[in-house]
Amino acid sequence: MATVSRVKELYAGKAKSVYTTQDPNRLILHFRNDTSAFDGEKIEQLERKGMVNNRFNAFIMERLEAAGIPTQHDHLLSQEESVVKALDMIPVECVVRNIATGSLVKRLGVPDGMDLSPPTFEFFLKNDALHDPMINDYHILTFGWASGEEIETMKRLTFQVNGVLTALFRDAKMLLVDYKLEFGRYQGELVLGDEFTPDGCRLWDSDTRNKLDKDRFRQGLGGVVEAYEEVAHRLGVDLDSPL
Ligand code: 5GP
């Protein structure tokens, strides 16, 4: 494998930074310890979080690839960095919900914790200044954020991810409540980008329904990284294995 290293910072998000490399088709994602909520209003440094999320994301992306879902992930570079394909990102968030909670409950007044059958799907515009407003297919088409075919592919792949991951988490005694995915274009193909970590999904213990995800940070419950490590441990992600 050719060595890849950081050339220039392309973008610094709230929890990750993206760097160009010598290879125009590859970027480096740096998972930082920064943890943010409420569109960046609450920010804290949580020791080990960057490493745990980097390792966790690689594990999940490899599982999804193995199930036939194309992902951006290429390989782990260091404890906090991964090499990924350089995607042309679509500025839209795809959310699937298996259990009602969070913004769905606030918006629609449905009971918190209600099982959703079938699971529901929502699009949001990725725009912090506007607080990521909910949008529909027509907004995406009208404003040219993605084509009709890309919209259908994003829905299909997001539900395919649900099939793979609900089973994976169920076997590890966790409920995949909801999650957010982002997609991008790579050499004519739509590919799962960004990350899949407890920062962008909700995971509850199957028996107690204790929260094992970023809601612990949002709600000031403490034990955030400990919960992420517990999730990793239950799935069999080895956080200490050599790269
Ligand atoms: P809600 O719409 O209930 O706030 O979030 C639904 C799901 O999508 C949750 O799992 C949440 O973590 C994830 N999600 C939605 N928007 C974002 C976002 O901008 N950043 C992150 N990290 N996760 C998000």
CATH 3.30.200.20 domain extents, the chain = 9-85
**Beta-strand runs (E) in the chain:** 8-12, 16-20, 26-31, 34-37, 42-45, 73-76, 81-85, 88-89, 92-99, 115-125, 134-135, 174-186, 189-193, 201-205
Report CA dihedral (136, 145, 128, 197) to the nearest 10 degrees. Answer: 90
| Ligand 1 neighbour 195 (Cβ under 6 A) | no
Tell how far CA 179 is from the center of its chain: 7
CATH 3.30.470.20 domain extents, the chain = 88-224
Residue 83 has what pLDDT? 98
pTM: 0.97
Q: What residue type is 127 in one-letter code?
A: N
Nearest to 34 by CA among 23, 24, 22, 43: 43
Phi, psi (rounded to 5 degrees) for 175 = -105, 125
| Ligand 1 neighbour 93 (Cβ under 6 A) | yes
Contacts of 110 (CB under 8 A, 6+ apart): 100, 104
pLDDT at position 39 over 90: no
- Choosing from 105, 162, 178 the residue with most ligand 1 atoms within 8 A of its CB, the one to mutate for a pocket test is 178
| Ligand 1 neighbour 211 (Cβ under 6 A) | no
Q: How far does residue 79's CA lie from ligand 1's centre (Å)?
A: 25
Q: How far does residue 128's CA lie from ligand 1's centre (Å)?
A: 12
Collapsing DSSP to helix, strand or coil, 53 comes out as helix
Q: What residue type is 219 in one-letter code?
A: Q
- CATH class of the 9-85 domain in this structure: alpha beta
Residue 2 has what pLDDT? 63
Tell how far CA 227 is from the center of its chain: 16
Print the SS3 string covering 114-174.
Answer: CEEEEEEEEEEECCHHHCCCEECHHHHHHCCCCCHHHHHHHHHHHHHHHHHHHHHHHHCCE
Tell how far CA 119 is from the center of its chain: 18
pLDDT in tens, 117-146: 999 999 999 999 999 999 999 999 999 999
- What is the CATH number assigned to the segment(s) 88-224? 3.30.470.20
pLDDT in tens, 189-214: 999 999 999 999 999 999 999 999 99
